[in-house]
């Protein structure tokens, strides 16, 4: 079951085997979570977005076009949900629950490396349009064509955004380290 | 000044998208242009640092949260009705969730009432049902050991809590002007949210997060929240009520 391709699993779900979807959750939850986490920089928000992405995906499985890769469709939903959550985010004051817990959060393990922290900080200074392109390219390791399909923008735009984003990141990293 | 074509080749080189010919062209160009070489090295370094970013592990309970959200919903009569209605509605007709879910609730209630009328022997398995408005008692009457009262301008009602050996049950009866949101915070180390059972009412929906439930309710509703329990809770169940995004009331149980 694990090795079956995504489109066949979707077909099983649509044929009345809802539990087949669990394999897709296992296969992609970490990658979807990482898209959301890199965009939102908050583990709990990223988990909420990931949950919402899979619910929406499941509810709209009948709209999936098997001519395209399943993950492109899934990542498109993940990108849109993450960017929408970022737009909707309001500054709130709250207790930092992490201080009360001895359990290591995703943020803790992530910031363990100083360089990763700097890169993430530089990433957060990018506009959302640039940030999502960088995340899909470097975190999810997708090609220009795949990113273009996911974000529904021309490949040329993907390249130009990536170039501008990297230049901006170079500047941001320099500022952060000096 | 860097030729635009080579900016593109630099970019593609970093992303391993250059052909052999393009790689050689870029190499020649960089060998004779210091400014371009410096920029390429900088961009390559940025690319390398980005690609070294590790994948962050999601919370341990994320998988179960996702599956818990999906499968009860998929198997409930209510949501199958919602899906069917969505598919039946022609394009151009409003598909506002309030309309679709409200109508679906009406259809489900009507179906349940008809079924009860037709055969009193029919048993409806309500385990894991999420979001229906079926009338009736589930798991017998509650013998609440705590009663919390909610009295605000926007929402009134009561919360009864019963602690059983391996289970905690909260029954909420609420009446709100318009839509009221509330959160229920609990000790995720000890309590595991098991299920949501509306007993009667107009409209209530629930979202399960780690250590927190988020509920939206409209009008008058009675529903129960079931938690499985692996010990003695160290934190009380806390109910926070919100109207127009502002917290208007907070109630906490006294731990047994």
ipTM score assigned to the predicted complex:
0.81
Q: Report which listed range, A77-86, B44-53, B145-154, B237-246, is most confident.
A: A77-86
> What's the predicted TM-score (pTM) here?
0.54
State the pLDDT at residue B95: 53
A34 to chain B nearest CA, in Å?
6
State the pLDDT at residue B4: 83
Whether residue A114 lies within 8 A of chain B, CB to CB, comes out as no
Residue (of B236, B223, B188) closest to B208 by Cα position: B188
Contact A173 B49 (CB under 8 A): yes
pLDDT digits (tens, 9 = 90+) for A145-173: 999 999 999 999 999 999 999 999 999 99
Q: CA torsion, points A18, B186, B254, B136, in degrees to nearest 10?
A: -20
Residue (of B196, B202, B218) closest to B72 by Cα position: B196
| Average pLDDT of the residues in B8-35 | 91
Neighbour-count burial of B198, counting CB atoms closer than 10 A to its CB (0-12 exposed, 13-18 middle, 19+ buried) = buried
Q: Alpha carbon A153 to chain centroid distance?
A: 17
Contact B56 A22 (CB under 8 A): no
Query: Are A151 and A76 in contact, with CB atoms under 8 Å apart?
Result: yes
Is residue B137 predicted with pLDDT exceeding 60?
A: no
Is residue B182 predicted with pLDDT exceeding 50?
A: yes
- Under the banding of pLDDT at 50, 70 and 90, the label for residue B91 is very low
Q: In chain A, pLDDT over 70 holds for what percent of residues?
A: 84
Q: Report which listed range, A16-30, A96-110, B188-202, is most confident.
A: A16-30
Q: How far apart are the first and last CA of chain A?
A: 51
Whether residue B167 lies within 8 A of chain A, CB to CB, comes out as no
B70 neighbourhood in chain A, CB within 8 Å: 18, 21, 25, 54-55, 58
State the pLDDT at residue A35: 95
Whether residue A139 lies within 8 A of chain B, CB to CB, comes out as yes
Would you report the helix, strand and coil content of chain A in percent, each value rounded to 5? 75, 0, 25
pLDDT digits (tens, 9 = 90+) for A6-31: 999 999 989 888 889 999 999 999 99
Q: How far apart are the first and last CA of chain B?
A: 75
Whether residue B209 lies within 8 A of chain A, CB to CB, comes out as yes
Contact B73 A55 (CB under 8 A): yes
State the pLDDT at residue B139: 55
Contact B54 A138 (CB under 8 A): no
Q: Determine which helix (DSSP H) or strand (DSSP E) holds B159, and give its type and residue range.
A: strand B155-163
Neighbours of B6 (CB within 10 A): 20
Lowest mean pLDDT among A22-36, A92-106, A160-174, B197-211: A92-106
Residue B16 to residue B36: CA distance in whole angstroms: 18
What tokens were used for B129?
């049902």
């Amino acid at each position: 079951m694990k090795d079956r391709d995504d489109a066949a699993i979707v077909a099983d779900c649509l044929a009345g085997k809802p539990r087949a979807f669990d394999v897709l959750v296992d296969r992609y939850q970490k990658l979807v979570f990482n898209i959301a986490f890199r965009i939102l920089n908050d583990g709990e928000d990223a988990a909420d977005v990931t949950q919402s992405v899979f619910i929406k995906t499941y509810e709209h499985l009948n709209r999936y076009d098997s001519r395209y890769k399943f993950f492109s469709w899934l990542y498109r939903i993940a990108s849109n949900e993450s960017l929408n959550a970022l737009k909707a985010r309001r500054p709130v004051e709250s207790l930092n629950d992490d201080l009360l817990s001895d359990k290591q959060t995703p943020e803790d393990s992530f910031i363990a490396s100083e360089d990763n922290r700097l890169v993430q900080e530089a990433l957060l200074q990018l506009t959302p349009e640039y940030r999502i392109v960088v995340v899909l390219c470097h975190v999810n390791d997708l090609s220009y064509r795949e990113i273009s399909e996911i974000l529904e923008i021309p490949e040329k735009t993907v390249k130009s955004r990536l170039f501008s984003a990297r230049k901006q990141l170079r500047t941001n990293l320099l500022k952060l380290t000096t | 000044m860097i030729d635009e074509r080579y900016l593109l080749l630099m970019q593609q080189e970093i992303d391993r998208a250059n052909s052999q010919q393009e790689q050689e062209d870029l190499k020649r160009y960089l060998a004779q242009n210091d400014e371009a070489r410096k920029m390429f090295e900088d961009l390559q370094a940025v690319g390398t640092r980005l690609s070294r970013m590790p994948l962050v592990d999601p919370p341990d309970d994320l998988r179960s949260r996702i599956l818990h959200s999906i499968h009860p919903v998929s198997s409930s009569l209510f949501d199958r009705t919602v899906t069917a209605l969505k598919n039946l509605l022609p394009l151009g007709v409003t598909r506002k969730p309030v309309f679709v879910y409200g109508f679906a609730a009406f259809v489900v209630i009507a179906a349940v009432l008809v079924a009860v009328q037709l055969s009193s022997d029919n048993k409806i398995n309500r385990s894991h049902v999420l979001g229906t408005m079926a009338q009736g008692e589930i798991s017998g009457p509650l013998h609440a050991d705590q009663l919390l009262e909610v009295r605000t301008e926007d929402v009134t009602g009561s919360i009864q809590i019963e602690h059983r050996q391996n289970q905690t049950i909260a029954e909420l009866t609420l009446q709100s002007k318009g839509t009221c949101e509330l959160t229920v915070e609990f000790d995720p180390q000890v309590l595991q949210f098991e299920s949501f059972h509306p007993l009667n009412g107009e409209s209530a929906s629930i979202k399960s997060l780690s250590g927190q439930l988020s509920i939206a309710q409209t009008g008058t509703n009675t529903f129960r929240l079931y938690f499985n329990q692996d010990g003695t809770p160290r934190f009380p169940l806390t109910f926070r009520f919100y109207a127009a995004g502002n917290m208007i009331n907070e109630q906490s149980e006294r731990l047994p």
